[in-house]
Amino acid sequence: MRNFIFRCPALGVNVQASAALRDCGEGRRYVGQRCAACGNLHLVNPDNGKLLAEDLASDAQNRPD
Ligand SMILES: [Zn+2]
Protein backbone atom coordinates (compact mmCIF):
# COMPACT_ATOMS: atom_id res chain seq x y z
CA MET A 1 0.00 0.00 0.00
CA ARG A 2 1.36 3.38 -0.96
CA ASN A 3 0.15 6.72 0.34
CA PHE A 4 0.27 9.70 -1.94
CA ILE A 5 -1.35 13.07 -2.50
CA PHE A 6 -3.04 14.31 -5.63
CA ARG A 7 -4.90 17.47 -6.49
CA CYS A 8 -8.58 17.15 -7.12
CA PRO A 9 -9.30 18.72 -10.52
CA ALA A 10 -12.85 19.58 -9.55
CA LEU A 11 -12.16 21.46 -6.31
CA GLY A 12 -8.44 22.19 -6.58
CA VAL A 13 -7.65 20.81 -3.17
CA ASN A 14 -5.05 18.27 -2.18
CA VAL A 15 -6.45 14.86 -1.38
CA GLN A 16 -4.64 12.10 0.41
CA ALA A 17 -5.06 8.67 -1.07
CA SER A 18 -3.62 5.22 -0.87
CA ALA A 19 -3.43 2.47 -3.40
CA ALA A 20 -2.33 -1.11 -3.58
CA LEU A 21 0.14 -1.26 -6.42
CA ARG A 22 1.01 -4.24 -8.46
CA ASP A 23 4.49 -4.29 -9.83
CA CYS A 24 3.77 -4.28 -13.51
CA GLY A 25 7.18 -3.34 -14.82
CA GLU A 26 8.00 -0.28 -16.83
CA GLY A 27 5.67 2.46 -17.86
CA ARG A 28 3.19 4.61 -16.13
CA ARG A 29 0.40 3.20 -14.10
CA TYR A 30 -2.73 4.84 -12.95
CA VAL A 31 -5.13 3.88 -10.27
CA GLY A 32 -8.74 4.88 -9.96
CA GLN A 33 -9.21 6.85 -6.77
CA ARG A 34 -12.53 7.71 -5.20
CA CYS A 35 -11.93 11.34 -4.33
CA ALA A 36 -12.52 12.26 -0.71
CA ALA A 37 -13.14 15.88 -1.72
CA CYS A 38 -15.64 15.67 -4.57
CA GLY A 39 -16.65 12.03 -4.52
CA ASN A 40 -15.79 11.42 -8.15
CA LEU A 41 -13.38 8.86 -9.50
CA HIS A 42 -10.02 10.20 -10.68
CA LEU A 43 -7.25 8.35 -12.49
CA VAL A 44 -4.04 9.15 -10.65
CA ASN A 45 -0.42 8.15 -11.05
CA PRO A 46 0.76 7.25 -7.52
CA ASP A 47 4.39 7.71 -8.55
CA ASN A 48 4.05 11.47 -8.97
CA GLY A 49 0.55 12.27 -7.77
CA LYS A 50 -0.44 13.49 -11.22
CA LEU A 51 -3.75 12.90 -12.87
CA LEU A 52 -3.86 11.07 -16.15
CA ALA A 53 -5.15 14.24 -17.85
CA GLU A 54 -2.22 16.28 -16.47
CA ASP A 55 0.32 13.76 -17.70
CA LEU A 56 -1.22 13.75 -21.16
CA ALA A 57 -1.18 17.56 -21.25
CA SER A 58 2.49 17.78 -20.29
CA ASP A 59 3.33 15.10 -22.83
CA ALA A 60 1.73 17.22 -25.51
CA GLN A 61 3.76 20.26 -24.43
CA ASN A 62 7.03 18.37 -24.36
CA ARG A 63 6.56 16.68 -27.68
CA PRO A 64 9.17 17.92 -30.16
CA ASP A 65 7.56 19.19 -33.30
ZN1 LIG B 1 -12.08 15.13 -6.80
Residue 14's identity, in one-letter code, is N
11: left (phi over 0), alpha (psi -120 to 50) or beta: alpha
The domain in which residue 28 lies consists of 2-62
What's the domain count of the chain? Answer: 1
pTM: 0.76
pLDDT at site 22: 65
Q: Where are the alpha helices (DSSP H) in the chain?
A: 52-62
Span from the CA of 51 to the centroid of ligand 1 (angstroms): 11
Q: In a structure prediction context, what are the per-residue pLDDT tens digits for the chain, which is 65 residues long? A: 889 999 999 999 999 998 877 665 556 788 899 999 999 999 999 888 999 988 888 888 888 77
pLDDT at site 26: 58
Q: Is 33 exposed, middle or buried (0-12, 13-18, 19+ CB in 10 A)?
A: buried
Span from the CA of 58 to the centroid of ligand 1 (angstroms): 20
Q: Largest Cα–Cα distance of the chain, in whole Å?
A: 39
